[in-house]
Structure 1
Amino acid sequence: MGQDWEFAATSYTKTYHREQYPAIDPKNPANSVKGKVVVVTGGGAGIGLRISRAFVEAGAKAVAILGRRQNVLDDAKRELEGFGASKILTFSADVSDGDALNKAFAAIKEQVGPINITVANAAYLNSGLLLEVDVDDWWKGYEVNVKGTLLTYRAFFANKSDDKPTFISLNTGASHAMVAPTMSSYGTSKFANLHLVTYLAAENPEVRAVSYHPGVLESEMNSKGTIKFSFDDMSLPAGFAVWLASDKADFVQGRMLWAHWDVEELEAMKEDIVKKNDLVAKLSGFGSPN
């Protein structure tokens, strides 16, 4: 059961990007994370690895990558060390294992200092029709995409820096912009993830918490799906993550953005975005949360 989709909704900004551009370039001085400690879950491969690379290129003091496969993390560490002077740490941990996460984040703080930025990238995609899918595997999407995000946030919060800490959760357009048959576990768990981050932002305003759709990217996870999309360049979500951690993104608290949207246009609209409470989950035609 396959289908080819050109995944592009009406853009919130006039400009719709599909690859990195100067305003989100990690090497742009405005996006510098010099002296900061960054953690990326699922950071050993695919988009997580490219995001980790972007923070290295942006000058991070240290980048810690978490994942389930130590051999993959070891390969990633060697690769990342070629892109800058950041200290690269690796920790084998499953995001659905709270104890493992707590130990990893505490060790990161002990070794390189309080954590400034955490990117919750680890995710799970189950594919199949609801009446045919293995329910336990379907539910694993919630274990990783919802529970795992909460556990990651709690481990980060306990070891965060007091200097503008930022929590970035990778989401998907499939959570709110479309209904894709066979992808119900991913779409519904990611919608729950989106609203979870809104609550985390509301309850802990001292931490910038934001969700974003990274685009559609060639990855091990996406290869499991039965719906095929046109792909964006990995440089787009990597640079966008670095921008989200910058001072220019000080208005994104609790919101959902797309990496495709032009950040300079978003910056110009920020007062209106906050005033209207745009880019938050709501029931279409009924209003928006306070």
Structure 2
Amino acid sequence: MADGTSVPIGVMTPVRGRAAKSSMRRFAQQRSTVAFLLCLPLILLIAGFVIYPAFYAIYLSMLNKKMTAFVGLGNFSFLLKRHTFQMVIFQSCLYAITAVIFKVVIGFTIANLMNNIPGKKQRIWRGLLLVPWVIPLALSTLTWWWMFDPSYSAFNWILNQFGFANVPWLGVGWIARFCTITVNVWGGTPFFMIMYLAALKSVPEQLYEASAIDGANAVQRLFFVTLPMMRNIISITILFSLIVTFAEFDIVRILTAGGPQDMTQIFATYAFQVGIQSGDIPLGAADSLFMFPILAFAAFFVLRGVTRRSKDIAA
């Protein structure tokens, strides 16, 4: 104090205590704190089921087959030298990229056709077209497997009615690749359709009216109005589908199990074969990690384009 007297500690303690409680209350009442606390269970789940397994997979990929010695990048170099794994890389890229391209084109086409159907009929068709996406993938793939089966194939029965010979749908490499891609496109197209349909409904009708006044035809409206307004949605759905398709397991495993002669093996099925069936878990972990740089490269460029376009729109 100014007069040289001192205030007892007991007098200051309640004041400090009230100040501390007040600051804690303000901290707890902040929107960012509330949001963090609400997201905390999800953060813990992600850490427990995604982050920890990812780092543990990296650790496993650097061990020998018996998991007793550290081999560094030996498993990765061993895989890259194998002709089968080189074929797996090619087939995984072919499978994912081809399937995504078909899903984008077919989904966008169906969404445009659906957007022109009035009210109640659109809801009915939308519900029907979502069925392939709603059905469990393993169950629908079993149905496709029956239709491709060499002995009881529904497709071969139809071909026989028109005088054509049976087709070994799952017995020839390139035909089997076509079949796996077809099933993936069938199951994934409804997702693209519903996303693009929502994006189409968010395009302001005034833009179409202005372009019609300027004399733009349907094709010009598509390329200069619809597609520019949907670029971000298209990019995000492509990225999401690439990630899911690269990690695909059910379709290939049920239809072909990687055959014939490993000509339909992709990253997930080959990792299962090497890591689980052959008992070389570190090699299987190394195989699965090869997807990461490919998807990281695609995510970087897609998200950079989305961010750039968002900034341009905001400016």
Normalised to the residue count of structure 2, the TM-score between the two structures is: 0.21
Normalised to the residue count of structure 1, the TM-score between the two structures is: 0.22
Higher strand proportion (structure 1 or 2) = 1
Larger radius of gyration: 2
